[in-house]
């Protein structure tokens, strides 16, 4: 009897878990985006080809609606993998292009098989391969522009991407169904996208190889916490590019987390060893990776304090300045910080330090979008990991940073460092009075 009741409770719990996951899936913004894109695709091809009752079009539109979030995650992973291995914007975007092109070729072939598309483009105007290539390029271009608008606080990321995809789908639908004007528009958009996406990427990679010496370098990141690889990157760029100064500014609250906190998609679930521990809520989008670098963050003031002490500890205080513009960051992010730095160092070459990991390549994109900055790309392959440090690993940070981390883990409130009193309050580290 108890065994039967146990199995029954297990089935009931499993049912409610599946039901809860289903509700979360339906509520996810990316799910709604996928089904909106699928609906737009159906309407566009139905109008362009007069195929309102075509069951193949209905089925394919539904499949695309279901697959779009997973497809987006996959292409993101491909790009991230290529960037990590090469530290090249161009190669990473080409890597992303390949699976997107294959996906579009499959879709066009499926549309032909289902007789959604009945007009065969002539070779002189555009082949199916050509149409797929141009469509893929335009899709990358319009999504890229849409995301940049969102990064600058112009619209919501999901809404912007949906609008961009809608434009691409509508134009492609009419081009695929034989409308010559739509083909011309698609080609123009494709040329524009090549210039914006691949042109900017190639120029960025060229600036990384052919650069002036002297000037100042920017170094952005979470520094959660600063470790030995960060220090080595600073030393190397100072020596290799004969710099006058390196300017460091840590992330205050990453935009991804700030927006998700505002929407209630994540929350500060606990505080552990002086760190914020984030967790997803029931409102979270199950298709978004909110914590690509982990869900534990030292407070901004603590990271700022550790960076300054690490720089002093290795004798770089005269060559490195730690900036602190939390108000500028809150308003315009690192774009605003770059603008402020450029106004101060007019006519001076500005270099941008970054790693090839996900966070580093995000920073690289900000450099590229902010004008003529010379990237200094470092492929991450030394095994040093801020995630491991936060988990308790030792030997990866400077002496003073490891000392401060131990104080945070042990819950110390006041101690002495270099003959000065240091206080820790709710994860915030600052100098105090003895």
Q: CB count, 10 Å around CB of 396?
A: 18
Q: Which residues contact 292 (CB under 8 A, 6 or more apart)?
A: 358, 359
What percent of the chain is predicted at pLDDT more than 90? 39
pLDDT of amino acid 157: 67
User: Which of the two residues, 142 and 374, has the higher pLDDT score?
Assistant: 374
pLDDT of amino acid 167: 84
Residue 430's Cβ-side half-sphere holds a number of Cα atoms within 13 Å equal to 9
Residue 219 exposed, middle or buried by CB count within 10 Å (0-12, 13-18, 19+): buried
pLDDT in tens, 185-195: 888 888 888 88
**Section 2-17 average pLDDT:** 51
pLDDT of amino acid 139: 87
Domains of the chain: residue spans and CATH:
2-205 (no CATH), 214-256+300-431 (3.40.50.620)
- For the stretch 155-162, contacts whose Cβ atoms lie closer than 8 Å and that sit 24 or more positions apart, written own/partner, are 158/29, 158/30, 158/32, 158/33, 161/33, 162/33, 162/36, 162/37
* Alpha-carbon gap, residue 248 to 216, rounded angstroms: 11
Displacement of CA 6 from its chain's centroid (Å): 45
* Alpha-carbon gap, residue 94 to 111, rounded angstroms: 26
**Section 253-272 average pLDDT:** 89
Average pLDDT value over all residues in the chain = 86
Residues 398 and 228 sit within 8 Å (Cβ to Cβ): yes
Would the pLDDT of 334 be above 90?
Answer: yes
Would the pLDDT of 400 be above 50?
Answer: yes
pLDDT of amino acid 279: 94
**Section 307-318 average pLDDT:** 93
SS3 327: helix
pLDDT of amino acid 122: 43
The band of 17, judged by pLDDT with boundaries at 50, 70 and 90, is: very low
* Alpha-carbon gap, residue 175 to 128, rounded angstroms: 11
The band of 305, judged by pLDDT with boundaries at 50, 70 and 90, is: very high
Structure tokens at 296: 């534990």
């Amino acid at each position: 009897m108890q065994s039967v009741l146990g199995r029954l409770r297990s089935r009931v719990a499993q049912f409610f878990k599946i039901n809860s996951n289903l509700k979360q899936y339906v509520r996810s913004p990316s799910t709604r985006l996928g089904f909106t894109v699928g609906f737009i695709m159906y309407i566009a091809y139905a109008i362009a080809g007069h195929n309102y009752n075509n069951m193949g079009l209905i089925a394919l539109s539904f499949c695309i609606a279901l697959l779009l979030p997973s497809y987006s995650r996959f292409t993101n992973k491909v790009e991230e993998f290529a960037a990590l291995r090469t530290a090249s914007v161009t190669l990473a975007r080409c890597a992303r292009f390949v699976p997107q092109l294959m996906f579009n070729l499959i879709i066009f072939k499926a549309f032909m098989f289902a007789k959604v598309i009945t007009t065969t483009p002539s070779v002189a105007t555009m082949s199916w391969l050509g149409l797929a290539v141009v469509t893929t390029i335009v899709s990358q271009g319009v999504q890229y522009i849409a995301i940049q608008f969102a990064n600058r606080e112009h619209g919501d990321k999901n809404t912007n991407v949906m609008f961009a995809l809608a434009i691409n789908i509508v134009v492609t639908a009419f081009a695929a169904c034989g409308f010559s004007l739509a083909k011309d528009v698609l080609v123009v958009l494709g040329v524009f996208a090549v210039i914006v996406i691949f042109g900017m990427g190639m120029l960025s990679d060229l600036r990384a190889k052919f650069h002036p010496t002297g000037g100042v370098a920017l170094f952005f990141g979470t520094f959660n916490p600063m470790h030995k690889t960060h220090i080595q990157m600073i030393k190397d760029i100072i020596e290799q590019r004969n710099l006058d100064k390196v300017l460091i500014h840590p992330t205050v609250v990453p935009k991804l987390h700030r927006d998700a906190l505002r929407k209630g998609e994540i929350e500060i679930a606990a505080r552990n060893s002086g760190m914020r521990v984030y967790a997803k809520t029931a409102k979270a989008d199950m298709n978004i990776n909110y914590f690509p670098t982990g869900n534990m963050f030292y407070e901004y003031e603590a990271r700022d304090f550790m960076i300054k002490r690490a720089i002093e500890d290795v004798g770089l205080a005269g060559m490195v300045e730690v900036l602190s513009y939390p108000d500028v960051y809150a308003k315009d992010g690192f774009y605003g910080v770059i603008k402020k730095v450029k106004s101060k160092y007019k006519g001076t070459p500005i270099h941008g330090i970054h790693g090839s990991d996900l966070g580093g390549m995000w920073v690289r994109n900000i450099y590229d979008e902010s004008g003529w900055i010379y990237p200094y790309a470092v492929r991450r392959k030394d095994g040093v990991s801020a995630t491991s440090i936060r988990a308790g690993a030792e030997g990866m940070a400077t002496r003073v940073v490891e000392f401060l981390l131990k104080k945070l883990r042990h819950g110390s409130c006041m101690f002495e460092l270099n003959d000065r009193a240091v206080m820790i309050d709710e994860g915030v580290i600052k100098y105090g009075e003895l």
